[in-house]
Homo-oligomer: A and B are copies of this chain.
Amino acid sequence: MFFLKELPTRQMIQGYAKQHSMEIVDSVETALLMMRQASLLVRQIEAYFSDHDTSQLRFLILIVIDREPERDSLLVSEISDRIDVSRPVMTRTLQSMVDEKLIVMKADQSDRRAKQVSLTEKGCKFLESVLPGYFDVICKFMMDLKK
């Protein structure tokens, strides 16, 4: 997250940067603006999911399992390949989602270390129920940006 409310002016960036090339000042300005806007959007998204007693990470886990063509389960390692949080965070989050009955986990047949994760009926329904609002939050934010 990037927490600075008022971004530095170009002049200020120029003052701090040792090399004063326009290109560098430009790219720093663009980067700061991108981080700030993304942070504001991420906050709105997290607030949306928090209102629905969940989190963006839980949502992403549901969606990567759901969007997999021709499969109805993924290994924990496959989910981790698609979402870059650390393994312990993945373990903990999956456990909470099992508790909430959004997913089920069962031992893999061919590799006894591995675990198959699949959506429950409840998880599927829940994903469908939060998706429209998720798009709404993003669209509304992007509309406001254009103004």
Chain A positions within 8 Å of B, measured between CB atoms, are: 1-6, 8, 12, 16-18, 24, 27-28, 30-32, 34-35, 37-39, 41-42, 56-57, 60, 64, 67, 81-85, 131-132, 135, 138-139, 141-143
A106 to chain B, nearest CB (A): 25
Taking the closest CB of chain B, its distance from the CB of A62, in whole angstroms, is: 12
A-B contact list, 11 entries, CB within 8 Å: A2-B38, A3-B57, A3-B84, A4-B82, A5-B81, A6-B82, A24-B139, A27-B142, A28-B135, A32-B138, A35-B42
Known: A27-B139, A135-B24. A5 touches B84 (CB 8 A): yes
CB of A34 within 8 A of CB of B27, answer no
Q: How far is the CB of A29 from chain B (nearest CB, A)?
A: 10
Partner of A34, one of B3, B17, B38, B131: B38
A122 to B28, CA, bound (A): 26
Choose from B1, B18, B32 the contact partner of A1 (Cβ within 8 Å).
B1
Closest residue to A6 on the B side, CB-wise?
B82
Query: Which residue of B2, B8, B17, B28 contacts A67 across the interface (Cβ within 8 Å)?
Result: B8
Find out whether the CB atom of B131 lies under 8 angstroms from the CB atom of A4. Answer: no
